[in-house]
Amino acid sequence: MIKVAVFGAKGRMGREICKAVDEAVDLQLVAGVDAGDDRTEVEKAQVVIDFTHPDAVMDNIKWCIDHGINAVVGTTGFSPAKYDEVRGWLAAKPGVNVLIASNFSIAAVLLMHFAAKAAPFFESVEVIELHHPRKVDAPSGTAITTANVIAGARADADCPPMPDATVKELDGARGAVVDGVHVHSVRLQGLFAHEEVVFGNPGEMLTIRDDSFHRSSYMPGVLGAVRAVGKRPGLTIGIDDLLGIA
């Protein structure tokens, strides 16, 4: 039995995760806490799952590392500098591990994988992410990761800059630019979590799209990460390796 605690237990993801951990025969939910709650019971956990808020997540990870507890983190808002900060904390605490993934759904992980494969073959690429209107961050963490992997694949293939004649722009009309890739965020009642990557060449276009319709789409990835994190030293980013597609 792996003893598990959840940070953000009263949130949309946290509630679903507490239920999934409770139902898993090899996991034991020892604590579910939200902002401001007492954390005494969390100290019994071997793994903490964090789905909270971009402003809270770094302090939460530090708390886990200081208490010698492995962490599986789905909260968004990471940058290369924040990953480095986590690596620094872990270096001072050998034996404690952290796994951070901007998306735990299989469809989204595969979308990013396929997007990286396609990227060198197209002149243009843009990312459109579409989410429920309660989401606090834009662009989504997944869209930022998607732009990062596309930019990496284009750089490895020495792709030239994308064609774009825009010289006159109303602020935001071309979206945010992440690693040189334009990312557009839609917030719409009725949606949950969706992403499209559109690739273009003269006379052709490729669209790769992933749709999450329910938070259950994240549960196999989150629970798989909880089972794996104890065996993965230091910081692991993403679940590609767990799925055998790294």
Ligand X SMILES: O=C(O)C1=N[C@H](C(=O)O)CCC1
Ligand Y SMILES: NC(=O)c1ccc[n+]([C@@H]2O[C@H](COP(=O)([O-])OP(=O)(O)OC[C@H]3O[C@@H](n4cnc5c(N)ncnc54)[C@H](O)[C@@H]3O)[C@@H](O)[C@H]2O)c1
Instruction: Report the catalytic residues.
Output: 131, 135
22 neighbors 29 (Cβ within 8 angstroms): yes
Is 11 a residue that touches ligand Y (CB under 6 A)?
yes
46 neighbors 4 (Cβ within 8 angstroms): yes
For the packed helices 57-66 and 80-91, what is the interaxial angle rounded to 10 degrees? Answer: 10
State which residue has the least CB distance to ligand Y.
11
Residue from 46, 52, 76, 236 binding ligand X (CB under 6 A): 76
The answer to whether the annotation marks 221 as part of a ligand binding site is no
**Closest of 39, 40, 68, 31 to residue 56, by C-alpha:** 39
Is 236 a residue that touches ligand Y (CB under 6 A)?
no
198 neighbors 114 (Cβ within 8 angstroms): no
Tell me the one-letter amino acid at 221. Answer: G
Residue from 2, 42, 60, 146 binding ligand Y (CB under 6 A): 60
Is 141 a residue that touches ligand X (CB under 6 A)?
yes
Question: 52 touches which of ligand X, ligand Y, none (CB within 5 to 8 A by kind)?
Answer: ligand Y
The answer to whether the annotation marks 12 as part of a ligand binding site is yes
| Least Cβ distance, residue 66 to ligand Y (angstroms) | 14
Q: Kindly list the distances between the CA atom of residue 89 and the CA atoms of 68, 115, 118, in Å, as whole numbers in the listed order.
A: 11, 32, 36
Question: 209 touches which of ligand X, ligand Y, none (CB within 5 to 8 A by kind)?
Answer: none
Across-strand partners of 197? 127, 208
Binding residues: 8-13, 38-39, 74-76, 101-104, 132, 141-142
